Chain A
Amino acid sequence: MASRLAVSPVVHGLVWQPWDDVYIVYQPSSTETHVFNETTALILKCLEQGPLAIEGIKDWAEAALGVAHGELATADFAFATARLQELGLIECLDETAAPE
Chain B
Amino acid sequence: MIVGDLSLRELGKQLGAAGLAIQFGPFNLTIRSNLESFASLAHRLYEPYPLPGPGEIADFHVGIASPRGLRRWVRRQASFTLDGQSPFAPYTVEHAFPALEWGINWCVATRAHHLLMLHSAGIERNGLAMLFPASPGDGKSTLCTALIHSGWRLMSDEFGLVRPEDGMLLPLPRLIPLKNESIDVIRRFRPEAIIGPAFLGTRKGTVAHVRPPAESIRRAQEAARPRWFVFPRWIANAPLALEPMPKSRAFLMVATNAFNYEVLDETAFRLVAEMVRTSDCYSLSYSDLDEAVAALDELSNAVDG
Residue in A closest to B270 when the chains form the complex, CB atoms: A15
- In the complex the two chains form, is B266's CB within 8 Å of A20's CB? no
Q: If the complex has contacts A24-B273, A33-B255, A35-B252, are A19 and B266 also in contact, measured as CB distance less than 8 A?
A: no
- In the complex the two chains form, is A15's CB within 8 Å of B269's CB? yes
- In the complex the two chains form, is B266's CB within 8 Å of A17's CB? no
Tell me, in angstroms, the Cα distance from A18 to B115 when the chains sit together. 26
Pick from A19, A20, A26, A35: contact of B269, CB under 8 Å:
A26
- Tell whether A28 is near chain B: CB-to-CB under 8 Å: yes
Among B261-280, those with CB < 8 Å from A are 262, 265-266, 269-270, 273
- In the complex the two chains form, is B247's CB within 8 Å of A20's CB? yes
Tell me, in angstroms, the Cα distance from A33 to B265 when the chains sit together. 9
Q: If the complex has contacts A15-B270, A33-B255, are A20 and B265 also in contact, measured as CB distance less than 8 A?
A: no
7 contacts between A and B (CB under 8 A): A19-B247, A19-B248, A20-B248, A24-B248, A24-B273, A31-B262, A35-B252
Tell me, in angstroms, the Cα distance from A33 to B254 when the chains sit together. 13
Chain A nearest CB, measured from B229 CB (Å): 13
Which secondary structure characterizes the binding site on chain A? strand
Residues on the A chain within 8 Å of B266, using CB: 15, 26, 28, 31
Among B247-305, those with CB < 8 Å from A are 247-249, 251-252, 255, 262, 265-266, 269-270, 273
Residues on the A chain within 8 Å of B246, using CB: 19-20
- Tell whether A63 is near chain B: CB-to-CB under 8 Å: no
Residues on the B chain within 8 Å of A15, using CB: 266, 269-270
Chain B nearest CB, measured from A63 CB (Å): 27
Pick from A17, A31, A35: contact of B265, CB under 8 Å:
A31
In the A-B complex, the 6 residue pairs with the smallest Cβ-Cβ separation, listed nearest first, are A19-B248, A26-B269, A19-B247, A20-B248, A20-B246, A31-B265
Q: Could you tell me which B residues sit within 8 Å of A by CB distance?
A: 246-249, 251-252, 255, 262, 265-266, 269-270, 273
Residues on the B chain within 8 Å of A20, using CB: 246-249
Chain A nearest CB, measured from B171 CB (Å): 27
Residues on the A chain within 8 Å of B269, using CB: 15, 26, 33
Residue in B closest to A30 when the chains form the complex, CB atoms: B265
Residue in A closest to B251 when the chains form the complex, CB atoms: A24
Chain A window 7-47, contacts with chain B (Cβ cutoff 8 Å), 1 for yes, 0 for no? 00000000101011010101010010101000000000000
Residues on the B chain within 8 Å of A33, using CB: 255, 269
Chain B nearest CB, measured from A66 CB (Å): 24
Given contacts A17-B251, A26-B266, A33-B255, 11 further A-B contacts (CB under 8 A): A17-B273, A19-B251, A20-B247, A20-B249, A22-B248, A24-B248, A24-B251, A26-B269, A28-B266, A31-B265, A33-B269
Residues on the B chain within 8 Å of A31, using CB: 262, 265-266
Tell me, in angstroms, the Cα distance from A28 to B267 when the chains sit together. 10
Chain A nearest CB, measured from B281 CB (Å): 11
Residues on the A chain within 8 Å of B265, using CB: 28, 31
Chain A nearest CB, measured from B261 CB (Å): 8
Residues on the A chain within 8 Å of B270, using CB: 15
Chain B nearest CB, measured from A41 CB (Å): 13
Tell me, in angstroms, the Cα distance from A41 to B251 when the chains sit together. 19
Tell me, in angstroms, the Cα distance from A22 to B247 when the chains sit together. 10
Residues on the A chain within 8 Å of B273, using CB: 17, 24
Tell me, in angstroms, the Cα distance from A17 to B246 when the chains sit together. 13
Tell me, in angstroms, the Cα distance from A9 to B251 when the chains sit together. 27
Chain A nearest CB, measured from B233 CB (Å): 21
Residues on the B chain within 8 Å of A28, using CB: 265-266
Residues on the B chain within 8 Å of A24, using CB: 248, 251-252, 273
Tell me, in angstroms, the Cα distance from A81 to B14 when the chains sit together. 63
Residues on the B chain within 8 Å of A35, using CB: 248, 252
